[in-house]
Amino acid sequence: MAPVKLIRGSNTSISDLIPTLGTVVVGFGWDVVQSRGPAVELVPSAILCGESGTALSDEHLVFFNQLVSPDGAVTYVEGDVEQIEVDLANVPADVAKIVFVVYADPDLRQPGNFGAVRSAYIRVSDRSGAELVRYDIEEGSGIEITAMVFAELYRHRGGWKIRAIGQGYSTGLKGVADDFDVRI
């Protein structure tokens, strides 16, 4: 089965693609155009949000320094490929959505932005690696963008859907943190 291809603003039901909800693997990828200056270092993360649309707590931000959500349902997977595993069946009921953000790490190589980023995507696969959904981020100048919400998994009528977002921030991780009320 070919994966469902999303465009910005579109959504699809994960529950229809895998009726027996279990763990999905959310993968991220991109190419960085090489230059003589510092290369951008991108970092994927997930924010578990309640009905208000904000993080349940500061501990509900999952990334390389906080590998697992407090409930254990969302895990950052370290390795060659940037991935976050989500055990949909065990996500607590107070989590209305999980937002997937990629940001330019300001501590590693300043100034970092999406200007040199090409072919960025987010995909959802089952545990076997079969790609179910893919959203190829639209290319733009990206010079002003230092963080981006790629997509969100959200509850819908007792199941889960994914929506392609592609919303860039010129205010970096701080702007994202302010919008989702999480301290970084």
Greater confidence, 16 or 152?
152
| pTM: predicted TM-score of the whole model, two decimal places | 0.94
| Strand ranges inside the chain, DSSP E | 4-6, 11-13, 23-32, 42-49, 61-62, 74-77, 82-87, 97-104, 117-126, 131-136, 147-156, 159-169
Q: What is the CATH number of domain 4-180?
A: 2.60.60.30
Looking at the predicted structure, is the pLDDT value of residue 27 above 70?
Answer: yes
Residue 109 confidence class, pLDDT cut points 50, 70, 90: low
What lies within 8 Å, CB to CB, of 160 at 6+ separation is 13, 14, 15, 21, 88, 153, 154
Taking all residues of the chain, what is their mean pLDDT, rounded to a whole number?
A: 90
What lies within 8 Å, CB to CB, of 130 at 6+ separation is 1
- Please report the sign of the dihedral spanned by the C-alpha atoms of residue 21, residue 135, residue 176, residue 116: positive
Q: What is the pLDDT of residue 128?
A: 86
